[in-house]
Structure 1
Amino acid sequence: MLLTTAVFASILALMFIKLSFNVIGFRRKNKVSLGAGGVDELERAIRAHGNFAEYVPLGLFLIGALELNGAPWELVAVLGALLVAGRYFHAKGISEPPPNFTQRVRGMKLTFAALALSAIANVAWVVYRVMALA
């Protein structure tokens, strides 16, 4: 079962919904149905939402694969927490006017750490499991 991944996927889904509502709200406020219409706050909301959608699926896939292959839940939880924190800080940094590049960079570092460590952990865990079975 993917219990730990399910918790982090749920948290990330709620974050995604919040980012979606931000885009919808700015579209309504500024009467823009497609694109950003030259509205800076809408452009930031669109990119925060889009960037989230670009990085989260791969992160969840890697974390889920690790858990599905029997890695310790603590490892899965740390990687999930890194991904959640990274996406939170990035969205906060890009969304708030004026853009807070410190928060945005922190978010990307945490996101890349989650992705890289998840990829490395998957390879290491598979090697470990194969060697243990040999």
Structure 2
Amino acid sequence: LLKRMRAQGNFIEYAPFGVILLALVEFSGAPALAVHLLGLLLVIGRALHAWGFSAPPPVMIGPVFGMILTLTIILLSALGLLLYTLF
């Protein structure tokens, strides 16, 4: 139960930030394909994270790859917005 609570808490901490960055990327005029790919990777990352914790014997590769994908999306979105603002 504690792991599931932590997985849900992790979702609440990272998903809104990713969605806000995704909206900012869209509002900045990024191509639709880029926005869709970022959104798809965010959903896959969060699903992997949840799957890893909810599997009967916990599969720790799920949360690891899920967090890597989520943090990659956040980093790419932030970098793209920064470059768009500067240039």
TM-score (norm 2): 0.91
SS at match of 2:29: coil
Distance 1:123 1:76 in 2: 16
Partner of 2:68: 109
**Pairing of 1:1-134 with structure 2 (within 5 A):** 42-128=1-87
Distance 1:67 1:96 in 2: 34
The structure whose RCO (Cα within 8 Å, separation 6+) is larger is: 2
TM-score of the superposed pair, with normalisation by structure 1: 0.61
Deviation of 1:83 after TM superposition, in Å, equals 0.7
Gaps of 5+ in 1: 1-41, 129-134
* Kept after mapping to 2: 8 A contact 1:63/1:76: yes
| Unaligned residue ranges in structure 2 (runs of 5+) | none
Cα offset for 1:44?
A: 2.0
- Offset at 1:47? 1.3
Find the aligned partners of 2:40 and 2:77 in 1 and give their Cα distance.
Answer: 12
Cα distance in 2 between the residues matched to 1:75 and 1:126: 17
Q: Report how far residue 127 of structure 1 moved.
A: 2.4
Deviation at 1:89, TM superposition (A): 0.2
SS of 2:63 mapped into structure 1: helix
Measured in 1, the distance between the counterparts of 2:17 and 2:10 equals: 12
1:71·1:125 contact (CA, 8 Å) conserved in 2? no
Task: Give the number of the structure whose alpha-carbon radius of gyration is greater.
Answer: 1
